[in-house]
Amino acid sequence: MRVHRFVTNDLTIRVAAVDATAAVQEMQKLQNAMPLATIGMGRAMVGALLMSSQLKPGQEVGILLKGNGPLGSLYAQSNYEGQVRAYCPHPEYIAHQEEDFLNLKKALGFGQLTISRQQPFQKQPFYGTVEMVSGEVGEDIAHYLHQSHQIRSLVSLGVYLDSYGKVKSAGGLLLEVMPGVEETVVDKVQKNADSQQEAVSKLILAGQSPEEFVRPYLEGIPFTELPHPFEVKYFCPCTPERVKGALSTLGITDLEEMIAQKQDTEVQCQMCGRRYDVKTEELESLKENLRKSSMH
Ligand SMILES: [Zn+2]
């Protein structure tokens, strides 16, 4: 599975599409995520995969939706090469009311969408932030592209779960209209899109390939596929230093408690589940650093 990229022959519309089922299933397995977090992280992963495929080798896109609802936030990151990962602070969250079991908008609440774009040889990534307009991820990304980059787009992201809450399919498409396009072409695309009844995740479940589910959107407009030969993969580049560093968010009191127990402990990367051993001395030095930084 890889991100497929297409461009119309007049170069005014570009489309990226992906079947990300395996990567989203892997995320759900590693994080033991419940339906709402799975749908949210899954959609963000698909969005990040699609957006990063339009960049250059080595570049990354991070998508952060930060709301005031019980799910807290959703984060996904992908690079041009199709390596993708995701994080949610409350993967275990389940809505109280049955009618809200799949209501991502309600679980996320009101908030902001921030998209970062990292580039090799540049220290600071580029950040853009907009208000969330729907909390369903796809519409929020479309809103961001319009507000921050003046790009009109269609963003369709989907995760399909079975009755046990397990991922059956996941994927989506991102269609972007470039400046200078003929309005008649835009009308044609809009009309094509309006006649699409089925969600992308259902089309993938039915066995359609990215090329097959993109085709109806570009009906009547000649287009070409661009090479993009990277296998999509759930991949976490965590290092012991970074994961252990996260312990400093615990604060001095908690660290002291752990130190007092005089046992080597273990921390787990929340994105991939990998475990790292932490020695008591390491806890001591984390505490010392915290103490120093809290003094000024
Ligand atoms: Zn990790």
Would you write out the chain's pLDDT as a tens digit for each of its 296 residues?
999 999 999 999 999 999 999 999 999 999 999 999 999 999 999 999 999 999 999 899 999 999 999 999 999 999 999 999 999 999 999 998 889 889 999 999 999 999 998 776 777 788 999 999 998 999 999 999 999 999 999 999 999 999 999 999 999 999 999 988 999 999 999 999 999 889 999 999 999 999 999 999 999 999 999 999 999 999 998 888 888 877 777 778 888 888 888 777 888 888 888 888 888 888 888 888 888 877 66
- Do 203 and 82 share a structural domain? yes
Model pLDDT, residue 296: 60
- Do 228 and 149 share a structural domain? yes
CA 50 / ligand 1 centre spacing (Å): 22
Q: Which domain holds residue 110?
A: 4-234
CA 203 / ligand 1 centre spacing (Å): 31
CA 135 / ligand 1 centre spacing (Å): 26
Model pLDDT, residue 251: 79
CA 270 / ligand 1 centre spacing (Å): 6
CA 25 / ligand 1 centre spacing (Å): 16
- Do 165 and 62 share a structural domain? yes
216 CB-near residues (< 8 Å, 6+ apart): 192, 195, 196
- End-of-domain residue from the set 187, 203, 234: 234
Cβ atoms 78, 84 nearer than 8 A: yes
Nearest to 226 by CA among 6, 2, 77, 3: 6
CA 202 / ligand 1 centre spacing (Å): 30
- The distance between the two most distant Cα atoms of the chain, rounded to a whole number of Å, is 71
- Do 264 and 220 share a structural domain? no
Model pLDDT, residue 295: 67
- Do 248 and 213 share a structural domain? no
DSSP state of 125: P
- Do 151 and 98 share a structural domain? yes
In angstroms, the Cα distances linking 214 to 12, 68, 169, 177, 219 are: 16, 35, 16, 15, 9
Token couple for 283: 């806890």
CA 236 / ligand 1 centre spacing (Å): 5
- Do 249 and 113 share a structural domain? no
CA 147 / ligand 1 centre spacing (Å): 32
CA 75 / ligand 1 centre spacing (Å): 14
The H or E element spanning position 134 is none
Read off the pLDDT of residues 55-71 as tens digits, 9 standing for 90 and up. Answer: 999 899 999 999 999 99
- Do 154 and 31 share a structural domain? yes
Cβ atoms 95, 107 nearer than 8 A: yes
Cβ atoms 71, 93 nearer than 8 A: yes
CA 3 / ligand 1 centre spacing (Å): 23
- End-of-domain residue from the set 185, 200, 234: 234
CA 196 / ligand 1 centre spacing (Å): 38
CATH of residue 56: 3.55.30.10
Q: Which residue do the tokens 């809009």 mark?
A: 190
Read off the pLDDT of residues 241-287 as tens digits, 9 standing for 90 and up. Answer: 888 877 777 778 888 888 888 777 888 888 888 888 888 888 888 88
CA 246 / ligand 1 centre spacing (Å): 12
CA 1 / ligand 1 centre spacing (Å): 22
- End-of-domain residue from the set 189, 207, 234: 234
Q: How many domains does the chain have?
A: 2
- Do 153 and 248 share a structural domain? no
Q: Which residue do the tokens 């709301």 mark?
A: 67
- Residue 249 φ/ψ, nearest 5 degrees: -70, -15
Strand 167-177 versus strand 275-278 pairing type? unpaired
CATH of residue 291: 3.90.1280.10
CA 268 / ligand 1 centre spacing (Å): 8
- Do 224 and 141 share a structural domain? yes
- Do 196 and 59 share a structural domain? yes
CA 243 / ligand 1 centre spacing (Å): 8
- Do 282 and 144 share a structural domain? no
DSSP per-residue string spanning 25-77: HHHHHHHT--HHHHHHHHHHHHHHHHHHTTS-TT-EEEEEEEESSTT-EEEEE
Count of CB atoms within 10 A of residue 55's CB?
16
CA 90 / ligand 1 centre spacing (Å): 16
CA 295 / ligand 1 centre spacing (Å): 31
Please state the pTM of the whole predicted model. 0.90
